[in-house]
Chain A
């Protein structure tokens, strides 16, 4: 068949059209072909065989699992922002002015003295004592001993309490 021969020539020159190639392939898929074309049969059969090769299975990932990843990132970002803000707040000490509206804030051995009068008296006493110590530190030895005895906090407080009680009882 000259037609086939011509087509084969074109084929090997790479210039066959789609239709022409279909003709060739159909021809070579038949059982009986001309003897001079026999040698090309394996070539076309090889192509047909390769067409049978299939891809392995690809499992599409579960979309629900994926959706978690986006909110997760947002959570992490939000959490880190919140932690940062918290850190700033914690490390910024609250100003004392905000802490107490009262003029005095006194803790004796961990206990807050809420009575402002008592607190004031105690605080002023303590400040005075400290100033005295500082002043006296320039003085000889004996005076400092005396001050130390007077610095006992409980004693001062007790004395103060007694005094205040006295005052109150007098007023009443």
Chain B
């Protein structure tokens, strides 16, 4: 009986751990793949993140004071192989769904497409941009921690 309880607890822990980590696992899976490029910046400076100002908060002041970047990373697939692109895109969308990201916008411009996803867990804000051009798929993942004033 004790054994069963232990195993169940273990499975629960594993499931909990696994459930929030699909995007992470996806990145890890492909970062060293020779078909992909991967970049990671541990601590972008505020200057790096000028682009975020308009999107995260309405005022410049707010972003400087109330959020701290936890790093950003990007995975790029440059490939003429449409099937590979398709598969990778599916994996990305599945991972985002599994990790409970919300889609906040889609922009289509010809054959190009930019999808944006967001997730807020407690103090942590995660933003993912999913960019699809023909021959080119990029997943950009930024994380911020919002500080309380």
Chain A interface (Cβ < 8 Å from any Cβ of B): 84, 87-88, 91-93, 96-97, 100, 102-112, 119, 122-124, 126-127, 130-131, 133-135, 137-141, 144, 147-148, 151-153
A residues near B32, Cβ cutoff 8 Å: 107, 110, 112
B72 contacts partner chain A, Cβ-Cβ < 8 Å: yes
Tell me the number of A-to-B contacts counted with CB atoms below 8 Å: 124
Option from A100, A126, A147 in Cβ contact (under 8 Å) with B42: A100
CB distance A127 to B41 under 8 Å?
yes
CB distance A97 to B35 under 8 Å?
no
Which residue on chain B has the smallest CB distance to residue A130? Answer: B140
Option from A96, A97, A107 in Cβ contact (under 8 Å) with B37: A107
Size band of the B side of the interface?
35 or more
Option from B14, B129, B134 in Cβ contact (under 8 Å) with A134: B129
Further contacts, 15 of them, CB under 8 A, given A130-B138, A147-B133, A152-B78? A88-B17, A93-B24, A100-B42, A104-B39, A106-B40, A107-B38, A122-B39, A126-B39, A133-B131, A134-B51, A134-B131, A137-B107, A137-B109, A144-B133, A148-B112
B48 contacts partner chain A, Cβ-Cβ < 8 Å: yes
**Given contacts A93-B28, A107-B31, A126 and B37 within 8 Å (CB-CB):** yes
CB distance A96 to B40 under 8 Å?
yes
CB distance B42 to A123 under 8 Å?
no
B90 contacts partner chain A, Cβ-Cβ < 8 Å: no
B35-69 vs A, CB cutoff 8 Å, 1 = contact: the mask equals 11111111110001001000000000000000000
A residues near B97, Cβ cutoff 8 Å: none
